[in-house]
Structure 1
């Protein structure tokens, strides 16, 4: 079976500045990006979303097609070991499994057999990303594509769900052709035929831009924080003002713990994530304009302590439209 393990990578602002030979002052100023705290705030729901995406894709994998791929690899191994009968047996199973797949869905072009999650995360602020983008664009404009290519690999903050598929228009025929070649005693040609077939698997990708996902999760956190603020207001009014004199030293020490972000801070962090998404090229200014207007409206309501009304539903719809424009 193909080795399709989870792959993750992250690049810090300082590392990016070093790779791109940005000015030292910029590298020092951005070695701890301001977004790091808010990224940590939503790190768990981000991973939950990634897991959910992979689990959803795994439901679409076809057991018979997966078995056909495994049997093809077993046939290649058998031929390498000189066991032609084992290779023929494996190819017979693989062919039968694919016939079953085609019989169930004659219009199916790609049979999904495996799924892999890749995560690339550039941990930097907007200024560093924009500086890096200028370096890359200058290299491309100058025709120095090979110098730009390794830099582009790290210029991303995304989850990619890769699905490996067998092309049903060509793969079954290749198995039949290899079987005939083995029967004719042409083992080396059969090996090449199977190697070519395995090389024709089709990989499709679905991309989730992490800054956009983080922005949406931060707005969810702002909505929750607003609800909690409303719920604690009554409790504060009913509290006994004299109870502070009886607090122990241990109880006072507990108040030193880091305070959660305020609703306004969550909104500001979400706005910053949208700017990061734009800087990384996941859309242009027009794509994000609607959401920035929504967040301005939410800020006004928070500042005026007004009822948020249906603004969160409105923002949710805007996120849906944004992702449809960028990734569907």
Structure 2
């Protein structure tokens, strides 16, 4: 069973891009420095915003497991005691009016950053196709593995819809001396979790931060602002080449057109404030659709 869980992490990265969450890039920062800060801040955001683990849920699982061990030893009295403790750990949560459907018992943040360009991606894909044509599947697979640039946030939760009822049913079977049935029910309860992974493409975070940085210095440093915008366009190329697709009405082509429009305005009269705002809104909506679609 899988259930979509949007973490606070997604929201924070969606709207801010990560640039000003912790460290702020200097106004004379290089593109590499802006990108490094963007990724580091995104990592920190991911760690700081990990879903809070519910101690009662973890304790309940521990007691349920101990009940199963007791049943393996045919110790019904011990199993009953452990099941009562397992249910007891959930009493406060279950009695609350706004009791959650899922209790978080584990989470994990993985970061895989692709440091190449869109040309590197395209070259790798051509090589993969060639290897597949030659029947060299494992070599092709090895080339495909690095072709991702994302923060993956995995949340493992205990479903309150079914878990407590399973414990009660197991206790009922123990009471009626139907030990095998009790063991079967407990085994299922201890292996039924929801696991959802939220995928956040790093190139889109970089593009967002570079655009924000460019908007803040466009008046005082045209050359650097244009450099940031060009780098943002490159990041979008990487995201597209890596296959991070959005169902947004805004396309990569539209984003590139907006970036080019802003670059021309910066070089000219430099009244790009509204253009920047429009681009940020379109990129936010574009990312929002990608974030909502990229879950597994």
TM over 0.5: yes
Unaligned runs of 5+ in 1: 1-36, 231-260
Give 1:248's aligned residue.
none
Equivalences, count: 261
**Do residues 71 (structure 1) and 63 (structure 2) align?**
yes
SS of the aligned residue for 1:51 comes to helix
For the structure 1 residues 224 and 88, does the alpha-carbon distance in structure 2 shift closer, same or farther, using more than 3 Å as the test? farther
Aligned mates of 2:129, 2:81 — CA distance in 1:
54
For the structure 1 residues 159 and 185, does the alpha-carbon distance in structure 2 shift closer, same or farther, using more than 3 Å as the test? same
Q: Is the 8 A contact 2:34 2:209 kept in 1?
A: no
For the structure 1 residues 42 and 69, does the alpha-carbon distance in structure 2 shift closer, same or farther, using more than 3 Å as the test? farther
1:105-124 pair list within 5 angstroms: 108-124=100-116
Aligned mates of 2:33, 2:163 — CA distance in 1:
45
Aligned mates of 1:291, 1:137 — CA distance in 2:
29
Task: Return the index of the structure with the highest Cα Rg.
Answer: 1
Give 2:232's aligned residue.
270
Give the one of 39, 43, 46 matched to 2:36. 43
Flag the structure with higher helix content. Answer: 1
TM-score, normalised relative to structure 2: 0.71
For the structure 1 residues 310 and 78, does the alpha-carbon distance in structure 2 shift closer, same or farther, using more than 3 Å as the test? farther
Q: Is the 8 A contact 1:278 1:284 kept in 2?
A: no
Q: Is the 8 A contact 1:54 1:115 kept in 2?
A: no
SS of the aligned residue for 1:310 comes to helix
Aligned mates of 1:161, 1:173 — CA distance in 2:
29
Question: CA shift at 1:215, angstroms?
Answer: 0.8
Give the one of 288, 300, 309 matched to 2:264. 300
For the structure 1 residues 96 and 147, does the alpha-carbon distance in structure 2 shift closer, same or farther, using more than 3 Å as the test? farther
Q: Is the 8 A contact 1:108 1:168 kept in 2?
A: yes
SS of the aligned residue for 2:114 comes to strand
Aligned mates of 1:88, 1:264 — CA distance in 2:
69
TM-score, normalised relative to structure 1: 0.65
SS of the aligned residue for 2:218 comes to helix
Give the one of 189, 197, 200 matched to 1:205. 197
Give 2:287's aligned residue.
323
SS of the aligned residue for 1:155 comes to coil
**Do residues 94 (structure 1) and 56 (structure 2) align?**
no
1:3-14 pair list within 5 angstroms: none
SS of the aligned residue for 1:124 comes to coil
Unaligned runs of 5+ in 2: 1-29
For the structure 1 residues 138 and 297, does the alpha-carbon distance in structure 2 shift closer, same or farther, using more than 3 Å as the test? same
Question: CA shift at 1:179, angstroms?
Answer: 2.8
Aligned mates of 2:155, 2:227 — CA distance in 1:
37
Give 2:221's aligned residue.
229
Question: CA shift at 1:212, angstroms?
Answer: 0.4
Give 2:163's aligned residue.
171
**1:77-104 Cα deviation digits (max 9, x unpaired):** 6667887655433322322344543443
Give 1:242's aligned residue.
none
